[in-house]
Amino acid sequence: MFDVASQASFQPPSALISPHISAQCLGLQGQHTALGYQRRHFGGHSHPRDRYRPICANASGQGHLAIKLEDILADHLDVVFCGINPGKGSAAIGQHFANRSNRFWRTLHQAGFTPHEIHPEDGRTLLHYHCGLTTVVERPTASASELAQHEFQQAAVAFELKIRHCRPRYVAFLGKAGYAALSGQREIAWGLQPQLWGEARVWVLPNPSGRNLAFSLEQLVAAYQPLRMAIAQADPVPLIS
Can you say whether the dihedral through the CA atoms of 149, 91, 226, 50 is positive or negative? Answer: positive
Helix H or strand E encompassing 37 = strand 35-37
Residue 181 binned pLDDT confidence (cut-offs 50, 70, 90): confident
Higher-confidence residue: 31 or 45? 45
Domain spanning 12-232: CATH superfamily = Uracil-DNA glycosylase-like domain (3.40.470.10)
pTM of the model: 0.69
User: Across the chain, what does the average pLDDT equal?
Assistant: 74
Integer Cα distance of 236 and 192 in angstroms: 8
Residue 45 binned pLDDT confidence (cut-offs 50, 70, 90): very low
pLDDT higher than threshold 80 for residue 70: yes
1-17 pLDDT, tens digit each: 333 333 344 343 333 33
pLDDT higher than threshold 60 for residue 34: no
Cβ within 8 Å of residue 200, ≥6 positions away: 80, 163, 167, 168, 169, 170, 171
Q: What is the pLDDT of residue 90?
A: 87
123-154 pLDDT, tens digit each: 999 999 999 999 888 776 777 666 667 777 77
Residue boundaries of the structural domains of the chain: 12-232
**How many Cα atoms occupy the beta-carbon half-sphere of 152 within 13 Å?**
18
Can you say whether the dihedral through the CA atoms of 231, 224, 221, 104 is positive or negative? Answer: positive
Integer Cα distance of 119 and 47 in angstroms: 25
